[in-house]
Amino acid sequence: MSSLLQRSRWLFEPALALIFFVLWTMEVVGRHQIGPGAIRSTVPFWAALLALAVAIGLSRLQPIAAMSTGTAVLIGQLFFPTAIFDEPLVYLGYGIVILVVAATVQGRMRVVVLIFAGGAGVSIAGLLSWWLGIGRGDPGARTMFFLLCLATGVIAWSVGTLIGVWGRKRGNELALARATSRLNAAEADLSVAAERERIAQDVHDIMAHSLSVILAQADGARLLAEERPTAVSPSLATIASTARSSLTEVRVLIETLLGTPEGPTHPGLGDLEGLVKGLTASGLSVTVEQFGEIGEFTAAQQLAIYRIVQEGLTNTLKHAGPGASARLALDGRQDGIALSIASRPADVRQPTAVNESGRGLIGMRERARLAGGWLDAGADDDVPGGYLVTAYIPAVQQEGVIA
């Protein structure tokens, strides 16, 4: 309904003009009948009444045309006295024109409308004083009549201006509310997209690691099945353990989405040892070096560190070839932790090939950034064919903020 009223708003002034013309026609038609011998004296009157109604109809759509038409009526009545409205209340139509035009225009045009309002008031007072003899013989009464007409025009201009200011303020508030609503919707969509990206990254990290371990163990078991049957059983146990661990992590991820009263648990710094053991059992030689004391980290930061180490070592297992080795260095500092993962292939002639634009590296960099730190990855200049991942995650300060 409100949208229909807004679309039909432009019809209000033309409808008001039609009502104005019809009502005053019914009021004065008996005194201004168009007939033989009276055309010359009545046509100017009806033309002035019709032109004033047209000015009302144009007051919002064409403010300048409305003021010009109203001015033309007053000038025409000065040259054709029979066009002067003998019913003074007809001139209230000028009040309607002034009010609507003042509510429509902005800026310097308001001054033009004020001049029109004052000029129309004085002109109407002069025409009525001359034609109807208002205040004749009483200069004080005539002065009061002029001031009354002038004040009426100024009041109509003031009311119209206030209505226009209020209407535009209301429109701006509605526009701001709509823009805010669209912004909130966009933020909600962005949050959903970010959450989807986070879920996809978690699933990638979990499944890429577990499947790489399972694949390495399966290949080893297949190759040793005939020569060393007894070695197959530990490989199958590692496959089962890795699959079970991955299933648990996926379940935790799902519980995170659904929400649990006790809250989900995520892997952290204390789980790095188990991660390294699992990869070592898969055939990757991992050397761990730790320096200094590791400070306090939030659960989200610990998860980020775990996922970075997991992805870095998994990339070594996947891309460095059989017999590859990795060196994990954890340098604990007072203000954070610096870590590095150096991959070294068994055959230096076949360097570690990592997809720089893959989800794994992008996810590692994003996790480090969200944890307040940074991550860099690229070829290891100190190790032929090697690949080096370095990262830094700031610790939580005593005030509870990230350094």
The distance from CA 69 to its chain's CA centroid, rounded to whole angstroms, is: 45
- Contact indicator for 157, 102 with CB cutoff of 8 Å: yes
Fold of the CATH domain 284-403: Heat Shock Protein 90 (3.30.565)
Average predicted confidence (pLDDT) for the chain: 80
* pLDDT tens track for 264-277: 567 888 888 888 88
What is the C-alpha separation between 389 and 319, in angstroms, rounded?
14
Percent of the chain with pLDDT over 70: 73
What is the C-alpha separation between 357 and 361, in angstroms, rounded?
7
Q: Domain residues of the chain, as ranges?
A: 2-182, 284-403
User: 92 has which bridge partners?
Assistant: none
401 pLDDT tier (thresholds 50, 70, 90): very low
Report the pLDDT averaged over residues 238-265: 55
* pLDDT tens track for 281-305: 777 888 999 988 887 888 878 888 9
348-369 in b/e form (b: 16+ CB < 10 A) is eeebbebeeeebbbebbbbbbe
* pLDDT tens track for 312-356: 888 887 777 677 889 999 998 878 999 999 988 877 666 665 666
Residue 92: is its pLDDT beyond 90? Answer: yes
